[in-house]
Structure 1
Amino acid sequence: MTPPADTDRLVTEPAKDSGHGRSPYERDRARVLHSAAFRRLAAKTQVHTAGTDDFLRTRLTHSLEVAQIAREMGARLGCDPDVVDTAGLAHDLGHPPFGHNGEVALDALAAGCGGFEGNAQTLRVLTRLEAKVIAGDGTSAGLNLTRASLDAVSKYPWARRPGRRKFGVYADDLPVFDWLRAATPAGDRRCLEAQVMDWADDVAYSVHDVEDGIHGGYVALGPLLADADERAALCADVAATYSGESPADLGEVLLDLLADPVLAPLAGYDASHRAQAALKATTSVLTGRFVSAAVEATTARHGPGPHRRYAADLVVPRRVRARCALLKGIALRYVMRRPGARERYEQQRQILTELVAVLVDRAPDGLDEVFAPLWRAAGDDAARLRVVVDQVASLTDPAALAWHARLAGGGGVGPHS
């Protein structure tokens, strides 16, 4: 029996543009880049609310940065650069309005249909919700990406299970998940491209969100060096949220990080042209170090390669991973948990709660032209709830606010009301 091919698509497509010589993976990258779901990332929150400052990152700019980092790292390891690029571009397509706060809210609201998780939603967007290819039975096949590209996007290749907060597939998406994992080793092992994308995501998140925090005036590294209690509190946050290291071990790494000369130019940041250049130089150096450390450690263990798919696992040195986690913790503690943030997060969760409630009550009225037919075709209340959650998750931050404003004013809810 011929094993499944990495270039297979769930729905077979006729060959086209053969003279142009584009690979299947180049086509995958183009499909993600030109998708509506990708465009909507421009108005979805990364850490700071989308649209509040022209300097700050959105989910779109973050995804572009992850793709660039992943492409460079993957190419150095021997991965197909378009596969890791596609994974980087696509990895956040399923994230809802209001960032991780929206994800938490929708998970609670979707308890009756299996919960909500941004990575599982990404698979759903790619294989079902995005409009590109229609299967023979008339249902949507989403972007109909190749098996290798879908596997590279699968950061958490398992269904929801006790003891694991993250997961990558909902129960009703298991058929396509089983198809894309058909040629993989047994168990939860991730392909190398998914591991590269995941580390690129961590690197971009940690370095760039601290950059945004410094520019916004929320992060000052100097006081950390002088205040042992504050360092301990930060390390406790990181141990509880991002790292398996103990707070004591993280404290040692934090002191080393704060003493790094590359951070010295950040003291007294004043947003001038010179200060922004110094800040950008620091983020560039840190990103390069994190990438090089993983490439060098991986090739030291597995040889020079080329490595792709399941030929190797990405190796990230322990202290390098701890440094990255500490930077993520700095963004968490001083940006996401800054004064006033809790009240804003509660308001965002209330907006999503009210939107889901009114759409459950009024559907299919109020749902847009994509989701209303899916609601009518749903077989039970759980399936109908999933359609409503899909609709709300697809909204940008401004759209969620606009839909909620129409609801609060007593008008209809939907794109044309």
Structure 2
Amino acid sequence: MAPDNLQEIFAQRAVELREYIFSQPASNFKSNPWALADAIETFSNEKGHMMIFRSKKLDVAKAALVAQQPAPRTILEFGTFVGKSALAWGAILRDIHGENVPEDVNVYTFDPNPLMVALTRDLVKLAGVEDVVHVLEGPGSECLQKLVDEGKVTSVDMAFFDHWEKFYLSDLQLIEELKLWREGSLAIADNTDMPGAPDYLAYVKAGGSGAAGAVKYESKSYETQGGRGPSVVEISTACYKRNNSTHLRPRLHQHSSSASCAFASPGATTSAQLTNPRTVFSLIIINKAGGLIYQREFQAGLHKLSTNDYLVLAGTFHGVHAITRSITPKIPLQTTASPVPSSPGTNAPSTSGYSYPVPGIPVSGLEQLETDKFRLTCFQTLTGTKFLLFTDPVSGSVESIMNKIYELYADYVMKNPFYQLEMPVRCEAFDRHLGAWLRGRT
């Protein structure tokens, strides 16, 4: 079948799909991307000529994403078509991170066809995942470069290739050149067997370019049952290459001393547990009276506390901080010997005041608390507001992070004319800039 005829069929199917979906009650799909993805596959099974990522393949990809550590936050999709897989990626991220998905968790899907882009945007909105799934019109390479230039993408956890197979390899190498891979990132490619992407397949099967400092891949093929019979999904993992890891984001390190990495196969956990040496878990801000005015988590999988628990935590820490400040030792100051002898031949020293251990530095309370699971760092402003930052215990100094958080607080909270001092912080600009700045740095 000629390409032009195929494109005409795809365009017709897109129009028919829109009619099929929007002829049904919106309540069938409201806030339910999985239901909408299933409906698209049902339509495809009935009509044919729909190049979608079907459920059998999706199950393989989902298992790999769920097993990924740390949890995926940024997904790229090259080739949107009618948006079935984009909806699925958004649903998977919601399943992983919960209903309140952090703002730095995003799916970016690229397609040059305005008809497909318009349809997918409407479907994404219908399913209620427009806060997570972003549909960009244009070639994937150009869209990705723009996202990087704007600072919206600094690290990629998974890239899905399902567009023209001849662009698979060049787009994969673009991600390498932009240094977006982190250790454990996944490259998932559809249709590597039919119609086939031989250059891409040879590249990842060989472990990458093999050049000094290049990304190394561990790749595995998964045969599934597609709409036209058996079909292969290729899943490749960006691996740590000791002494040659310059193309991998320094966001992660590997505890294992091995120079290779094990692929996290679906249904299993990876043998190389990766952790982030600068992970920021959570931020709490307490006013000078000990009241909780801000709390936000930045990582998935944390133990959930209720609002009341956080209020108790804030009040308790405020009290402990005051106690530790009050028990700072005072060192007696010695003066010249007293003229009154205390014993024959000796003079007793007398005191006339006290000094703190480090004269000239104001007395402070508890500044750092460390356990084997987390490190708590406290920064108190001159007005008594406390910033509590929970980070990975293996991280280095967080002074620069704390300073930036305080700078953002000053710019977007304290300069907000509608903010009332000592009251809960509800400033959208602060949330947005805080999340954007921490993205890629933690």
What TM-score bracket applies, with the shorter chain setting the length?
under 0.3
TM-score, normalization by structure 1 = 0.25
The higher-RCO structure (CA 8 Å, 6+ apart) is 1
TM-score, normalization by structure 2 = 0.24
The structure with the greater share of residues assigned to strand is 2
